[in-house]
Chains A and B, each alone.
Chain A
């Protein structure tokens, strides 16, 4: 292991690190929005839309991100839709992540007690009010563990962006290895970089999970 090689590469990795963080953040936020929306639509069995979203969730969850990205990046231009690699990456990640988040939310929503929903209905709430005041807040707390796992999963999935040449962490490491033939050093930095991103995220999510659970159910 040559430390000088490592230290020279750090500025380049720092750039990639920022990009990975930024792509993850956008992807996760987008996925949460798409997932919550899709799950609520499925929960209240909105006609047509709920079938559409169910199909979307199954398609996205049961196919690899890599092929989704290839399709966006290489196949879409053939039908006249040309997007930058970064745009494709973000759309792909949200397409995939939205489905995973939808499953996470659905698990939580289905854990909300029927008696809670009866109580809300008995107080005259309509579906929107039930969603806003009963199903969502309690379901969110219940889905936290699944959502947290998805957040970690999605951050790791950004590594697949390397296949469409987005200069995030993995792509950068591979480029450097290709140029300087120093695999041990660059792979070491790469693993450490993922640890630096993910360990705080994991700890933070654990804390948040407990907070939200306590705030909602008191245990």
Chain B
């Protein structure tokens, strides 16, 4: 068994009286890809945002490499340097160039040497086919290009796990495939540990090592491998897969 990276234990979240997440439990190991599926409003985004402290939770715990994360602002801020995240809304910092966007956190947060990081950034930009855009501003890029930069910006922090929250959901269809390819490459070639929230079922089946199916804030199914897609255990999951036209 490979090393455990993230473990979630009995996590519950309330918004006032509303119970948003019910007793969430799962474990994620080094190099694994977990896909988080479920209808919209099922709590997928809330859950993934709990994993790096963007949302706080009411009870339960998150463990990073076997160590329980104390949910203080300071602690989360440290941990977030090891947990990269990319969002649905490809928000680059609009006042900075592509290169400045990429360099900001490694140089200011991690205090790494600028020229070294810049060199690495060039390599990563080349990997995603955007080496020519280093000095462009976000406004000059398409949505797909911005999302690729956002991925680079997260990768350059050398995260041990990446959280990808519907990263293709606001993109034009022709941009989606490029982003999916980048994620596939990250997994297959670099063995990046990832949690992916997505509505792209074909992609999810192809990349998943573990599937969580969420509805109304509950995990209805937690299935290793790709068995979920062939034989969903619950009716809800079957309905969901059918409705996704899969």
Contact A115 B95 (CB under 8 A): no
Contact B108 A137 (CB under 8 A): no
Contact B89 A129 (CB under 8 A): no
User: With A115-B87, A118-B87, A218-B139 given, is the CB distance from A123 to B104 under 8 Å?
Assistant: yes
Chain B residues whose C-beta falls within 8 Å of the C-beta of A113 in the assembled complex: 91
Query: In the complex, how many angstroms separate the beta carbon of B74 from the nearest chain A beta carbon?
Result: 8
Task: Assess whether A174 is interfacial by the CB under 8 Å rule.
Answer: no
Q: Which of A174-217 contact B (CB under 8 A)?
A: 215-217
Task: Assess whether A81 is interfacial by the CB under 8 Å rule.
Answer: no
Task: Assess whether B241 is interfacial by the CB under 8 Å rule.
Answer: no
Task: Assess whether A34 is interfacial by the CB under 8 Å rule.
Answer: no
Interface string of A97-137 (1 = CB under 8 A from B): 00000000000000001011011111111110100011001
Contact A115 B105 (CB under 8 A): no
Contact A122 B52 (CB under 8 A): yes
User: With A115-B87, A118-B87, A218-B139 given, is the CB distance from A123 to B95 under 8 Å?
Assistant: no
User: With A115-B87, A122-B54, A125-B77 given, is the CB distance from A216 to B109 under 8 Å?
Assistant: no
Q: Which of A39-57 contact B (CB under 8 A)?
A: none
Q: Which of B102-160 contact A (CB under 8 A)?
A: 104-105, 108-110, 137-140, 150, 153-154, 157
Contact A124 B78 (CB under 8 A): yes
A-B contact count, CB below 8 Å?
Answer: 78
Chain A residues whose C-beta falls within 8 Å of the C-beta of B93 in the assembled complex: 116, 119-120, 133-134, 137-138
Contact A115 B52 (CB under 8 A): no
Chain A residues whose C-beta falls within 8 Å of the C-beta of B92 in the assembled complex: 119
Chain A residues whose C-beta falls within 8 Å of the C-beta of B52 in the assembled complex: 121-122
Query: In the complex, how many angstroms separate the beta carbon of B143 from the nearest chain A beta carbon?
Result: 14
Chain A residues whose C-beta falls within 8 Å of the C-beta of B157 in the assembled complex: 123-124
Contact A141 B104 (CB under 8 A): no
Chain B residues whose C-beta falls within 8 Å of the C-beta of A138 in the assembled complex: 93-95
Chain A: CB-nearest residue to B104: A133
Chain A: CB-nearest residue to B82: A124
Chain B residues whose C-beta falls within 8 Å of the C-beta of A217 in the assembled complex: 94-95, 139
Query: In the complex, how many angstroms separate the beta carbon of A139 from the nearest chain B beta carbon?
Result: 11
User: In the complex the two chains form, what is the Cα distance from A118 to B76 in whole Å?
Assistant: 13
Chain A residues whose C-beta falls within 8 Å of the C-beta of B95 in the assembled complex: 137-138, 141, 215-217
Chain A: CB-nearest residue to B78: A124
User: In the complex the two chains form, what is the Cα distance from A102 to B95 in whole Å?
Assistant: 22
Query: In the complex, how many angstroms separate the beta carbon of A119 from the nearest chain B beta carbon?
Result: 5
Contact A123 B94 (CB under 8 A): no
Task: Assess whether B85 is interfacial by the CB under 8 Å rule.
Answer: yes
User: In the complex the two chains form, what is the Cα distance from A36 to B137 in whole Å?
Assistant: 27
Contact A126 B77 (CB under 8 A): yes
User: In the complex the two chains form, what is the Cα distance from A113 to B93 in whole Å?
Assistant: 11
User: In the complex the two chains form, what is the Cα distance from A115 to B49 in whole Å?
Assistant: 12
Query: In the complex, how many angstroms separate the beta carbon of A125 from the nearest chain B beta carbon?
Result: 6
Contact B109 A124 (CB under 8 A): yes
User: With A133-B104, A218-B94 given, is the CB distance from A122 to B109 under 8 Å?
Assistant: no
Chain A residues whose C-beta falls within 8 Å of the C-beta of B83 in the assembled complex: 122
- Interface residues of chain A, those whose CB is within 8 Å of chain B, are 113, 115-116, 118-127, 129, 133-134, 137-138, 141, 215-219
* 26 A-B residue pairs with CB within 8 Å: A113-B91, A115-B91, A118-B91, A119-B93, A119-B150, A121-B54, A122-B52, A122-B83, A122-B87, A123-B105, A123-B153, A124-B78, A124-B109, A124-B157, A125-B77, A126-B77, A129-B108, A133-B93, A138-B94, A216-B94, A217-B94, A217-B139, A218-B94, A218-B138, A218-B140, A219-B139
